[in-house]
C-alpha cells in the first residue's frame, strides 16, 4: 500500500473520531436557549422547565436568553444566523415559525429552511381572557362588547406575528371588528397590564394564564379547543359559549440553526423525548395546561411537517385579514 494512502487513511480516521467525540462529548460548556419574548411569559416558562431537564440530563447549564422584539422575529433571526454548533438553540412557536412569513415581507429567515427542528415541546390551547372587572358575564356578552365601537376595547398582544396577535386577529376578523391594540414584548408583561386593568383583553396560550384565572385576578371567557382543559375545568369552550367557529391552538418547539452536526441533533432530540417522559417535567407542563405531544409527535420530522402545515394554514388567514407589515 502506498504511504500517501496510509497517511490519508489515518488522517481520515482521525477526523472521523474527532467529529464523533465532538458529538459524544457535547455539551462541554453552557448552551443558550433563545426565548424570543420577555421573561415570565409562556415561551419563557416552557423554555425554563425544558432547560432545567436538559441541564440535569446533559450536565451543562442550558441558559435562557430573552431576545424580545418584533413579535418574536428578532430572536428567531438571531438563532437562524447563529453558529450551528449546538450551543445556541431556541424555543420557537406557532407565531415565529408559522405566522411570521405572512406578516413580514422582509423576514430574514425561512422557518422551513433555516432551522434544524429538534422537537415539539407543548401544545398550548388558546384562551380569551379579560381584565377581572370586564363588563360581560359570559362569552356572548363579551363578543357584543367587542362589536360595540363605543366600548373602545383595548386588546393586548406580544407584537405582530406573535401567537396572541395571530389568534386575536383570527377572532376579530371572524367577528368583523377592529380593536385598539397595545403591543408588548411578550404576553408576560401584557398579562401584568391585564391584571392591572390597563388593557381589556387578550388571546393567549394557556400556560400564561392558569394561575391568574384560578386566582381570579383575570377572567376567562372561553378556551378555543374542542374540549375543556383539565388545568382549567371551569372554563367553557368557545363552542359551549356560542362561538364554535373560533377554534385555535398554538405550540412551542425547540429549534437549532440549520447545519447542526448529526450527533448533536440526535442528542438534543433524544433528550427532549426523555424530558417529556420525565414525571416531574410532565407534571409541571400539564399543570399549566400544556398538551404534551405523544412520542411520534416529538420527532424532528414531525416538527418539520408541523412547521410546513402551519405556514400553509396561517398565510391565507393572515393575508385575508390584511395585516401585512411592510
Can you tell me which of 41, 111, 257, 293 binds ligand ASP, judged by CB under 6 A?
A: 41
Can you tell me which of 34, 80, 158, 253 binds ligand ASP, judged by CB under 6 A?
A: 158
* 140's grid cell: 356572548
Query: Please, what's the b/e burial string for 192-224 (b: 16 or more CB within 10 A of its CB; e: otherwise)?
Result: bbbeeeebbbbbbbbbbbbebbeeeebbbbbbb
Return the closest-CA partner of residue 86 out of 27, 39, 46. 27
Task: For the segment 82-121, give every residue that binds ligand ASP (CB under 6 A).
Answer: 95
Our finding on whether 251 is near ligand ASP (CB under 6 A) is no
In terms of CB distance, is 164 or 299 closer to ligand ASP? 164
Our finding on whether 42 is near ligand ASP (CB under 6 A) is yes
In terms of CB distance, is 26 or 255 closer to ligand ASP? 255
Task: For the segment 195-224, give every residue that binds ligand ASP (CB under 6 A).
Answer: 204-205
* Residue nearest to ligand ASP as judged by C-beta position: 41
- Compute the distance between CA of residue 246 and CA of residue 177 in angstroms, rounded to an integer: 14
Our finding on whether 169 is near ligand ASP (CB under 6 A) is no
Q: How many residues bind ligand ASP (CB under 6 A)?
A: 14
Q: What string of DSSP letters covers 193-207?
A: HHHHTSS-EEEEEGG
Shortest reach from residue 113's CB to ligand ASP, in Å: 22
Shortest reach from residue 10's CB to ligand ASP, in Å: 51
Neighbouring C-alpha atoms within 13 Å toward the C-beta of 158: 36
Can you tell me which of 66, 73, 74, 162 binds ligand ASP, judged by CB under 6 A?
A: 162
Return the closest-CA partner of residue 184 out of 45, 36, 37. 37
Can you tell me which of 86, 119, 123, 186 binds ligand ASP, judged by CB under 6 A?
A: 186
Query: Please, what's the b/e burial string for 23-44 (b: 16 or more CB within 10 A of its CB; e: otherwise)?
Result: beebbeeebbbbbbbbbbbbbb
User: Which helix (H) or strand (E) segment is 253 a member of?
Assistant: strand 249-257
Task: List residues near ligand ASP by CB under 6 A.
Answer: 37, 41-43, 95, 158, 162-164, 186-188, 204-205
Amino acid at each position: 500500500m502506498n504511504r500517501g494512502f496510509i497517511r490519508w487513511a489515518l488522517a481520515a480516521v482521525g477526523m472521523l473520531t474527532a467529529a464523533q467525540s465532538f458529538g459524544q462529548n457535547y455539551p462541554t460548556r453552557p448552551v443558550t436557549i433563545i426565548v424570543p419574548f420577555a421573561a415570565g411569559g409562556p415561551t419563557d416558562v416552557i423554555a425554563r422547565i425544558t432547560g432545567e431537564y436538559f441541564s440535569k440530563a446533559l450536565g451543562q447549564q442550558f441558559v435562557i436568553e430573552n431576545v424580545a422584539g418584533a413579535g418574536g422575529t428578532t430572536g428567531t433571526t438571531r438563532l437562524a444566523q447563529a453558529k450551528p454548533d449546538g450551543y445556541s438553540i431556541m424555543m420557537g412557536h406557532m407565531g415565529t415559525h408559522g405566522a411570521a412569513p405572512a406578516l413580514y415581507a422582509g423576514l430574514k429567515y425561512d422557518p422551513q429552511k433555516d432551522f434544524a427542528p429538534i422537537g415539539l415541546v407543548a401544545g398550548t390551547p388558546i384562551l380569551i381572557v379579560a381584565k377581572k372587572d370586564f363588563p360581560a358575564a359570559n362569552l356572548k356578552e363579551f363578543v357584543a362588547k367587542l362589536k360595540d365601537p363605543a366600548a373602545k376595547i383595548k386588546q393586548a398582544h406580544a407584537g405582530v406575528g406573535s401567537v396572541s396577535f395571530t389568534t386575536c386577529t383570527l377572532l376579530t376578523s371572524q367577528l368583523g371588528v377592529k380593536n385598539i391594540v397595545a403591543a408588548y414584548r411578550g404576553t408576560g408583561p401584557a398579562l401584568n397590564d391585564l391584571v392591572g386593568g390597563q388593557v381589556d383583553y387578550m388571546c393567549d396560550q394557556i400556560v400564561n394564564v392558569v394561575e391568574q384565572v384560578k386566582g381570579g385576578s383575570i377572567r376567562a371567557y372561553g378556551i378555543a379547543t374542542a374540549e375543556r382543559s383539565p388545568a382549567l375545568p371551569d372554563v367553557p369552550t368557545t363552542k359551549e359559549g356560542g362561538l364554535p367557529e373560533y377554534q385555535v391552538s398554538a405550540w412551542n418547539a425547540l429549534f437549532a440553526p440549520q447545519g447542526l452536526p448529526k450527533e448533536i441533533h440526535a442528542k438534543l432530540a433524544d433528550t427532549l423525548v426523555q424530558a417529556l417522559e420525565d414525571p416531574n417535567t410532565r407534571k409541571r407542563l400539564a399543570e399549566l395546561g400544556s398538551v404534551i405531544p405523544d412520542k411520534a409527535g416529538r420527532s424532528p420530522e414531525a416538527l418539520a411537517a408541523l412547521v410546513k402545515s402551519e405556514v400553509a394554514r396561517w398565510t391565507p388567514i393572515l393575508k385575508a385579514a390584511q395585516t401585512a407589515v411592510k
